[in-house]
Amino acid sequence: MRGLARTLFELLVPSVCPGCDAPRESTDTVLCNTCALRVRRVVRLRAVHVAIAYEGTGLELVRRFKFEHRRDARALLVHWLAERVRGLPFDAVVAVPRHPQRVRSEGSDPAHELAAGVARATGAWLAARALTRARPTAPQAGLSIGARRANVAQSFAAEPGALTGARVLLVDDVATTGATLAEAARTLRRASGAKRITLAAVAATPPPVL
């Protein structure tokens, strides 16, 4: 129990900065002052509701969360995303899923973790099985907009009627062009019965001009 208590306390009040591992001062927020100054808040990437820019500290936090499985980084990203989408019209939260093969190889499904955290923070229903990957896809990094759309075309499958009448928040980790979120949303609209779909990501790149 003492170990669990220490873990919970570390998530709430980390002893080091989640962005750079510098020891936190008593006057710091969760991030140290240097990392906090390198976070740029953004609002939208076209149709996607966004919390931060995928640059500076934002990029480092996403990298630590996705590839190092840092719970302190995840907690901060979930908090920012939940605050960003609070007040938007949704009853259910759906993650843009990874293919099971990739989950097994990398040991995580980042968008699902973000979606689960947002659902807990907002009291919405996490529709964990409403959307799945129908086939594996190549990484989107470095692809043109057209190539990104082709890469994810027909790569999702939705459970018929799983979201009938629901207002859905569709969550991804990083949005660059929005092609993956758009394809996932099209699949949900065709099959799930969702009443409304709102798109969200914790970070966006390249950062939009506000």
Please report the pLDDT score of residue 210 as a whole number: 41
Does 210 map to a domain? no
- 62 confidence band (pLDDT: 50, 70, 90): very high
Whether residue 83 sits in one domain with residue 70:
yes
Whether residue 47 sits in one domain with residue 109:
yes
| Helix, coil or strand: residue 149 | helix
Radius of gyration over every alpha carbon of the chain, rounded to an integer in angstroms: 17
Residue 135 sits in a domain of what CATH number? Answer: 3.40.50
Whether residue 180 sits in one domain with residue 96:
yes
189 within 8 A of 22, measured Cβ to Cβ: no
Whether residue 170 sits in one domain with residue 122:
yes
Whether residue 183 sits in one domain with residue 169:
yes
Of residues 65 and 99, more confidently modeled: 65
Indicate the number of domains in the chain. 2
Please report the pLDDT score of residue 167 as a whole number: 97
Q: What is the largest CA-CA distance in the chain?
A: 53
Instruction: Report CA-CA distances (Å) from 199 to 1, 60, 86, 92, 194.
Output: 39, 23, 13, 12, 13
Distance in angstroms (rounded) separating the CA atoms of residues 195 and 131: 15
| Helix, coil or strand: residue 46 | coil
Please report the pLDDT score of residue 47 as a whole number: 92
The pTM is what? 0.84
Whether residue 59 sits in one domain with residue 16:
no
Tens digit of each residue's pLDDT (9 = 90 or more) over 148-161: 665 565 668 888 99
Mean pLDDT taken over the chain: 84
Does 209 map to a domain? no
Q: Which domain holds residue 28?
A: 1-37
Please report the pLDDT score of residue 59 as a whole number: 96
Write phi, then psi, for 158 (nearest 5 degrees).
-115, 145
Whether residue 118 sits in one domain with residue 22:
no
Distance in angstroms (rounded) separating the CA atoms of residues 165 and 195: 5
